[in-house]
Structure 1
Amino acid sequence: MNWFSNLFKKKTKNNTSNDNSDSEWDAFISFARGEKYFFNSEWNDALYHFDKAIEKDYKKDDIFELRGMCLQALGYDYDAIEDFNKAIIFSPNNCNLYYNRALSKEVILDYEGEIKDIEKAIELSKQDTQMNRQYNKEAIDSGFRNGVVGLYEIGILRVKSRLEFDNREMNKDYCEEQLKLIKRR
C-alpha cells in the first residue's frame, strides 16, 4: 500500500510541474502575440498581450522595453517611464532604453531628467558593443551620419533649445505683467 501512496504523490508532483510549464508556455504565447502586434504597430493589442505575459510571470528581459514603447505610443508616458526603469535594471548598458525614457520625460516636461537620460545614452552609445554597432548601423541607414550618437546629440540640442525658448517666454510674460502694473499706477 505504501508504494501506491508514493506513486500517487509522484503524479501530483509531476502534475504541478506540468502546470508550471503550461503557465510558462502560456506566458510565452502571450509575449509572442504581443510582439506580433507590436511589430505591426497595433499598440493596444500588443499592450494587452504583454500585460498578460507579465501577469503570467514571463521572464524575458525585453518585455518591459517593448511594453514601455507601447505605453509611450499610446500616450501613457508616466507608465512608460516605469517600464523603462524596469528594463534598465535588466539591461543597464542599453543606451536606447535611456533615450526612450528621455522621450517620455520630454512629454511630461521633466527637462532635467530628459537631459540626464540623453547624456547617459550618449555616454553608453560610445562603447564598442554588438548592440551599439547595430544601433549605429540603423541610425546611419536612417540618415544620421554620426550614427546613434548624432541622433542623441540632436535630442540634447532640441531640449536645450526648448528650455531657452521657455525661459524667454517666461521672461517676456513677466515683463509684460510688470509693464501692465506700471501703467496702472
Structure 2
Amino acid sequence: MEPITGPNGVLPGHGPDLERLYADPWVARWYDATWSPEEAAAQAATQQANWDRDSVGKWIAYERLSGELAGRGGMSRMAPGTPIAEAIAALVGPEWTGLELGWALVESARGRGLATEIGRAGLNYAFTTLNATSVIALTEEVNTASQAVMKRLGMQYAGQIHAEGWAEGVPDVQPDAPFAVYVTTR
C-alpha cells in the first residue's frame, strides 16, 4: 500500500493532520509533546516556509485507498554550526550537506512498511532532485523500530551522538540521551 505524499510537503492547511499525528501516544512520546491546534498550525506554516526556502521539508502521507492520515516523513535540512549538526558531521564527513531523513506514523499505519516506503521516497527525492551526496537519519538508541527502518533502507550505522531525548530505563527525557546515526550515500 502506498501513501499519498504531497509534492509541496506540509501545507498550512495540514495543521489538523499534524495535531492528530502528534496526539498519537507513540509519536508524542518520541517528540515529548502533543500539539495544540495553534501549535500544529504554526508547525505547518514553518514546514511550508522550509519548503519555500530550502526545497526540503516533511510530507504529509495519506493512505492511498481510504485517504486517512498515515503520518509524515521526508527530508529536513539541519542548520550548520549547531551542536547536533557538528556532531553528525564529525561522524559522517564533510560530504554531508545537512539532509536528515525522518518519519512518524499514526498507530494504524505502523507495522505495514509505510515508514520504509516514506523513507525510500525521501531518499529518492534527496538523490535525484536535490543531487545530495549523503543523507543521515537518527533516532534515540532505544527506538529500535526506527533503526530497523534505517537498516531496511540500506543505511549504515555511522556512530552515536548525544542530544536531548529518551534513554534506556529512564522515565523522562534526558539532556544527553544516546542517538544512533545512520548514513547513506549516493
Answer yes or no: same fold by TM over 0.5.
no
* TM-score of the aligned structures, taking structure 2 as reference length: 0.26
Larger helix proportion, structure 1 or 2? 1
The structure having more radius of gyration, on CA atoms, is 1
> Greater RCO between the two (CA within 8 Å, min separation 6)?
2
